A = this chain, B = another copy of it.
Amino acid sequence: MADTLHTPTEDLHETLLRMGEQARAASAALAKAGPAARTKAILAMADALVAADSDILEANARDLDGGKQKGLSSAMMDRLALDAERVAAIADALRAVADLPDPVGTEIARWTVPSGLDIARVRTPLGVIGIIYEARPNVTADAAALCIRSGNAAILRAGSESLHSSIAIASALREGLASVGLPEDAVQLVQTTDRAAVGHMLTGLNGNIDVIVPRGGKGLVARVQAEARVPVIGHLEGLCHTYVDGAADPQKAVDIVVNAKMRRTGICGATETLLIDQAIASDLLPAIASALTDAGCTIKGDAAAQALVANMEAATEEDWRTEYLDTIISVRVVDGVAGAMAHIEEYGTSHTECIITEDQATAETFLSEVDSGIVIHNASTQFADGGQFGMGAEIGIATGRIHARGPVGAEQLTIFKYLVRGTGQTRP
């Protein structure tokens, strides 16, 4: 990858503009290569990763050294660490992406119009996708593979903590592409920790980045929102709600709420706020609270909730706006489904919301009226995941309003064009 390193004679902006041009050219070749060639490429990328195993682990050791010096938490260090087994797991994840159906060229719809024209809407790649992420080095491989699966070129910007590992992984992926005759510039990694690189990517590199996919914490998200001059697809914030309706089954309510909050607290689909119908709060909140406390969760409630459960901390306005990503939940007693929906409209981030009820009509009202990418009836919000949706790998959950919402997999990284087949028609 020496050709994408900027040298002292070229500034960072020029380097990135050149990467954009290279990506655009590679994306055209990749789109034309066809599904079988893309499958072969992803398998070759997986093999190349395993073959580059020792280079990757050596690079990872440098990242771990750097992490120690920076005083990263042990959780962060664990996320950063690779061993031969983890590299093999990353390669296996690529093979799973190679197994996914290739969306490019798929016919979405086809019809004939009165003029006799036969019109087909078929999927095409988006073009060049800029992915800006933090932490885990496996994202470099996962994101690149999903882009290749969908016929797109990727410009990757890794977190500084994992930069050496990401460079080694990207280098292997590029070798894999080249080994099957596809342009290695279909996967390029920005090889600097200079944060100005993010700013340049957000300008779209002279029209050579079509979409930005951010994956990271609030700092990154805020920057992307403020600066992006190209469309953004991705997960901004996941302040997910679970609403326990008056007609909820008590056991389902306890089981789902505990799972939705506590199964994994650090993922975007974790429930952050529990809304409970005043009609059932006194019967059910104590049991839910006790199960959450037993699972190690801290509960912060409004006055009505505090009145029902001993020693509950008070929730403030700020709590309704907080994505804890931790073993903390806020609880509010609301006036039925309308109250729950009003709270979600005010504080939600359009990610994932759940209703627990045995009343079908109430469930359908909630499903129809709540304006989030994913709306769930009687199941945990932790199902908000491309794999759980049967979509294979995902690059994130989209919380914006255009192009795609919910899990973003290979299909969501495509757009369409119209193929019009005529027999000599002219328009009257």
Contacts and interface: CB of A to CB of B under 8 A. Distances in A.
Nearest to A363: B421
A426 B259 contact: yes
Given A124-B371, A127-B401, A388 B427 contact: yes
B373 A417 contact: yes
A165 interface: no
A403 B402 contact: yes
Interface residues of A, number: 66
Interface string A248-277: 010010011011100100000000000000
Contact of A382 (B404, B421, B427): B427
A388 B113 CA distance: 7
A254 B173 CA distance: 50
Nearest to A368: B105
Interface in A96-152: 105, 111, 113-115, 117, 119, 124, 126-127
Contacts of A377: 419-422
A415 B401 contact: yes
Interface string A187-225: 000000000000000000000001100000000000000
22 contacts: A28-B371, A31-B371, A32-B369, A114-B390, A126-B402, A231-B231, A231-B402, A256-B424, A371-B417, A373-B418, A374-B418, A374-B420, A375-B418, A375-B419, A378-B423, A378-B424, A379-B424, A383-B420, A383-B422, A383-B425, A403-B415, A405-B417
Given A378-B423, A379-B425, 14 more contacts: A28-B345, A28-B371, A111-B390, A113-B389, A115-B379, A255-B426, A259-B426, A260-B426, A367-B421, A374-B417, A379-B423, A380-B427, A382-B427, A402-B402
The 7 closest A-B pairs by CB, nearest first: A379-B422, A259-B426, A379-B425, A252-B424, A382-B427, A376-B420, A378-B422
